[in-house]
Each structure stands twice: as structure tokens, then as C-alpha cells.
Amino acid sequence: MAPGLSASPPVVLLLLSLLGLAAAGKLLVVPVDGSHWLSMREVVDILRQRGHEVVVVAPEVSMHIKPSKNFVMKRYSVPYTKEEMEKDFKAFFLGSFEVGTSFGRFFHMREGMKTITAFWVSSCRHLLQNKELMSYLEESKFDAILTDPFVPCGAILAEHLSLPSMYFLRGIPCGLDFEATQCPNPPSYVPRVFTDLTDRMTFLQRVKNLLFEIPNVFLCDFAFEPYSRLASEFLQREVTVLDLLRKGSIWLLRLDFVLDYPRPLMPNIIPIGGVNCAHKELPQVGHTLF
């Protein structure tokens, strides 16, 4: 990746602040709970400080999404408790770090994704079925939507409201971010998850990388088919998650090439490595030597 393609956090904020050229913009934010929101929150706070009107839509039950003076919070009810959600999320994440065979890890991931997806799909369904909230969103005349496509509920809303969408993400399971943006994703160059490979592989390592791609064929349909059914039902036409993601205007990719290996990117994908780091001033160091 050429050095000039990497964007620092201030550049990201500048790009997002261009929602309106002559006046402040009105931004709808549909976040994903957990660490996804913690990464996005700083950007949302600074956008509000720069004069933009920000409305965050979130379920009443959440782990980290809290009200703030920097944005308007719109809540909607969901049919599960915080205790139920935290229990299943904790079990999924703890199990993801267990040592075992590749098949065992795949099976655990599949079962964990099934449980977690059920929460997110249920949350999205209750948002879309909330007539009062949907009427408010339809009448508010937003300029754009900022969302994390890891859970494509925001993408469904963007399609319904005919809004340009900005995706703020670390990645999407099954490599849907590659496919949606038509990025080259050759197994001879781009390492797959859990392979511990680099972008320079021997022939046998390329074979291994290709084999690790096979489970994605099964995980992808399993993980995103519920969203495709929900989107088709709500939009009243056949649509897939991939169809929705392809309409993303800007992809803000939270990659840092100190930690991640290079990968091909398209012009509307902007690397924003460093946005997850705490911004602290370095201590002053004296010039006197011993």
C-alpha cells in the first residue's frame, strides 16, 4: 500500500465534516454495539462539536451505547434483556480464543454466530417495525447515514431512506467487503483469517490459504441470509446483503498497516488506521544527556 493512501484520524474527521459545504449537515448514525461503537463514538462526538446535527439510533438494551450531549439518541425496544445479551456475547468471545482444531473452532464460531446473529436480526426487525421511529427518520431529511456494515441494518435503512451511506468498519465476515467493493482478493496474496500467513507465501502456504477460504462459503450464507430475508420483507422486493453493501459511497476502513498486511483497495476505500488509539501528547524529553 502506497504511503499516500493512508489517512490519519484528523483527515478522517475532515472528510466526514464535508457533509455540507455551506452549512452543517444532518447525519443519521446506526452503530453496532460493543467495541465497534467505542471506535465510532469519538468521530461522532467531534462531528457534533463541528456543528453537524447527529442522531444516533440504538436499541434500549445495549452494552456500550449511552446517551451523550453530543448527539440526539433515539431508542427502540427489543425483546431481550441486557443479562441475556451479555451472557451469550461473553460465551462467544471467550470460546473464540480457545485452543483446538480448525474444525472445532469453525463449529464453535458457527454456533456462536448463530446466537449473536439472532440478537442483531431481532434488534433490526424491531427497529424497522417501529412505526413512530421510522416516521421520524423519514421526515427528518438526513443528508447521509454513518453505519458499521458488520451488521447491515444501517444499510437496509439507507436503502429505504435513499441516503448516501458511509461505512465505518474493521472488516466483514466472509470477505463481503472485498466482494461488495470489487476489490481483488487473491489467496496467493491476501492472507485469510486464522492462517498466520503474510502477504508473501510459498506455494504450500498459498494452498493452505485457499483451504481456509472454503468455510467462508458456508459461513457467509448462514450469517447473512437472515438479513437478506429481513431486507426483502421490509423493502418489498428481493434483495441480498451484498446488493445493499455495493451501494456504499465511502468505506472508512479501520486498518493500520503497522498491524495489518497490505491488501488491494478501491478509490472509495479510505484506510483510517490510528482512529482506535488514545490521543495523548508525548511527554517532553530534556536534551541534557546524563
Percent of the chain whose pLDDT exceeds 70: 79
Amino acid at 150: F
Does residue 104 surpass a pLDDT of 90? no
Cα–Cα–Cα angle for 114, 117, 119, rounded to 5 degrees: 115
- How far is the CA of 285 from the CAs of 97, 224, 235, 280, in angstroms? 40, 52, 59, 15
Report the alpha-carbon distance of residue 182 to residue 246 in Å, rounded. Answer: 9
Cell readout for 169 is 468498519
Alpha-carbon torsion (27, 159, 5, 254), positive or negative: positive
Task: Give 15's pLDDT tier (boundaries 50, 70, 90).
Answer: low
Report the alpha-carbon distance of residue 179 to residue 266 in Å, rounded. Answer: 11
CB atoms < 10 A from the CB of 34, how many?
Answer: 16
* 58 vs 281 pLDDT, higher one: 58
- Which of 107-121, 125-139, 235-249 has the least mean pLDDT? 107-121
Does residue 5 surpass a pLDDT of 50? no
Predicted pLDDT of residue 87: 84
* Residue recorded with cell 468505506: 251
* 12 vs 201 pLDDT, higher one: 201
216-254 pLDDT per residue, tens: 777 777 789 999 999 999 999 999 999 999 999 999 998
Predicted pLDDT of residue 223: 80
Report the alpha-carbon distance of residue 234 to residue 141 in Å, rounded. Answer: 20
* 207 vs 96 pLDDT, higher one: 207
Does residue 102 surpass a pLDDT of 90? no
Instruction: Round the average pLDDT of the chain to a whole number and report it.
Output: 83
Task: Give 288's pLDDT tier (boundaries 50, 70, 90).
Answer: very low
Looking at residues 105-126, what average pLDDT do you find? 81
Q: Which residues pair with 250 in a beta bridge?
A: 166
- Of the ranges 94-98, 180-184, 195-199, 212-216, which is most confident? 180-184
Predicted pLDDT of residue 185: 87
* 5 vs 226 pLDDT, higher one: 226
Predicted pLDDT of residue 281: 65
Looking at residues 196-210, what average pLDDT do you find? 90
Looking at residues 261-267, what average pLDDT do you find? 84
Predicted pLDDT of residue 283: 65
Torsion of Cα atoms, 199 then 93 then 174 then 253, to 10°: -60
Chain-centre distance for alpha carbon 215: 21
Structural domains for the chain: 3-271 (3.40.50.2000)
Q: What DSSP string describes the chain?
A: --GGG---HHHHHHHHHTT-SSS--EEEEE--TTHHHHHHHHHHHHHHHTT-EEEEEEESS-SS---BTTBEEEEE--SS-HHHHHHHHHHHHHHHT----HHHHHHHHHHHHHHHHHHHHHHHHHHHT-HHHHHHHHHS--SEEEE-TTSTHHHHHHHHHT--EEEEES--GGGHHHHHHT----TTTSPPTTS---SS--HHHHHHHHHTTHHHHHHHHHHHHHHHHHHHHHHTS---HHHHHTT-SEEEE---TTTS------TTEEE-TTTTS---PPPP------
Does residue 10 surpass a pLDDT of 70? no
* 13 vs 246 pLDDT, higher one: 246
* Residue recorded with cell 427502540: 76
46-98 pLDDT per residue, tens: 888 888 999 999 999 998 999 999 999 999 999 999 898 888 777 776 666 66
* 86 vs 152 pLDDT, higher one: 152
